[in-house]
Amino acid sequence: MVGSTASPIVVLDSGLGGLTVVRALRRAMPFEDILYFGDTARVPYGSKSAATVTGFVRQIINYLLPHEPKHVVIACNTATAHSLTTVRADFPFLSISGVIDPGANAAIEAAGSRLRPTIGIIGTEGTIRSRAYEKAIHKQRPLARLICQAAPLLVPIIEEGRWEDLRPLLAENLDVLVLGCTHYPVYEGLIARMAGPQVAVIDSADKCAEDVRRRLRAAQLERGERAESAYLRCFVTDNSPRFGALASRFLGLQIEPPTLVCSDELHEQVVAAANAGELRTAV
Ligand code: DGL
């Protein structure tokens, strides 16, 4: 495994959504340095093929490899569903986790002792099509009744008041509703009000952070208290002036201007690594 106690944790997403995981990580492990990669030029991932998304994730990990991360979090449900198994095989020397298992575990925990809980799952088209949540939940609760709905346009739905689109799902007497996209927790309060007090709304960010801490502890890589403050450095593939402002507002701290990475550069690096035999798979 690469990385030492002092190494950073890498967190990646198609855009801003993974910052919900960064926020949870910083709460759970305030002394850890974090490198955040938002693939803002290629967002959304939700409507793209598994092969394309896997290629993007491979490129991003490869790009950040020189920082010798002690852990990589795929803070995107779509990317976790499509690529986690593949990139773990591509980078066997790296510790890599995703958001779907922590989200599924949180849903099961919230369902309590019910043998046949009704669990709603909303996520991108790619996440829902992959059936990754269904598989993860049914492994532990085979009788659970799962109602899955792709909600790629959730943001406009909420912003334009088109809540009716979610009405059929919410009419299903849900016990639990999983926010299967890391962008959705930004609207968690609103969604919880729409769902009603009887529905446990699950945002996997905290569970994902707990899962990362457990992995770091097991590998004895957790960083202890230290005098200097931990850093958060962001990388983006499109330098929208909004990224820094939105990220700072969302995290409640002033972040350094993000480093702009051209997607062609990402591609070239992965080709070079493949040619040098450092990557197992074709690009
Ligand atoms: N935040 C991502 C997820 O959790 C997806 C958003 C997108 O790029 O479509 O699936």
Looking at 76, 148, 208, 234, which residue is catalytic? 76
184, 120 in Cβ contact below 8 A?
Answer: no
Specify the pLDDT at position 273. Answer: 73
- 208 as an active site residue: the answer is no
Residue tagged 């269904």 (tokens): 134
What number of other Cβ atoms are within 10 A of residue 254's Cβ?
9
Phi, psi of 180 (to 5 degrees): -85, 35
User: Binning pLDDT at 50, 70 and 90, where does residue 283 land?
Assistant: very low
- 76 as an active site residue: the answer is yes
Whether residue 90 has pLDDT greater than 80: yes
Exposed, middle or buried, 97 (CB in 10 Å: 0-12/13-18/19+)? Answer: buried
Q: What distance in angstroms lies between residue 92's CA and the mean position of ligand 1's atoms?
A: 25
Condensed to tens digits (0 to 9), the pLDDT of residues 149-203 reads: 998 766 556 555 566 778 889 899 999 999 999 888 878 888 899 899 999 999 9
Residues with CB under 6 A from ligand 1: 13-15, 17, 43-46, 76-78, 124, 127, 181-183
DSSP secondary structure string for all residues of 191-207: HHHHH-TTSEEEETHHH
Specify the pLDDT at position 282. Answer: 45
CA 210 – CA 141 distance, rounded (Å):
22
12, 60 in Cβ contact below 8 A?
Answer: yes
Which is the closest atom of ligand 1 to the Cα of 78? 10
Using CA atoms of 236, 275, 68, 91 in order, give the dihedral in degrees to the nearest 10. Answer: 100
Looking at 148, 181, 208, 234, which residue is catalytic? 181
Phi, psi of 178 (to 5 degrees): -95, 125
29, 222 in Cβ contact below 8 A?
Answer: yes
> What is the separation, in whole angstroms, between the first and last Cα of the chain?
23
Which is the closest atom of ligand 1 to the Cα of 14? 8
Dihedral sign, Cα of residue 221, residue 222, residue 225, residue 227: positive
User: Binning pLDDT at 50, 70 and 90, where does residue 280 land?
Assistant: low
Stretch (H or E) spanning 59:
helix 50-64
The predicted model scores a pTM of 0.92
Q: Look at 268 and 12; give whichever has higher pLDDT.
A: 12
CA 182 – CA 203 distance, rounded (Å):
8
CA 271 – CA 250 distance, rounded (Å):
35
Q: What mean pLDDT, rounded, does the chain reach?
A: 91
Stretch (H or E) spanning 71:
strand 71-74
Condensed to tens digits (0 to 9), the pLDDT of residues 44-89 reads: 999 999 999 999 999 999 999 999 999 999 999 999 999 999 999 9
Phi, psi of 12 (to 5 degrees): -130, 150
Q: Which segments of 91-233 does DSSP mark as H helices, in order?
A: 100-111, 125-130, 132-140, 154-159, 167-170, 188-195, 205-218
Specify the pLDDT at position 37. Answer: 98
Which is the closest atom of ligand 1 to the Cα of 182? 4
Condensed to tens digits (0 to 9), the pLDDT of residues 243-269 reads: 888 888 889 888 899 999 988 888 777
Q: For a pLDDT cut of 70, what percent of the chain falls above it?
A: 93
Q: What distance in angstroms lies between residue 114's CA and the mean position of ligand 1's atoms?
A: 30
Q: Look at 278 and 233; give whichever has higher pLDDT.
A: 233
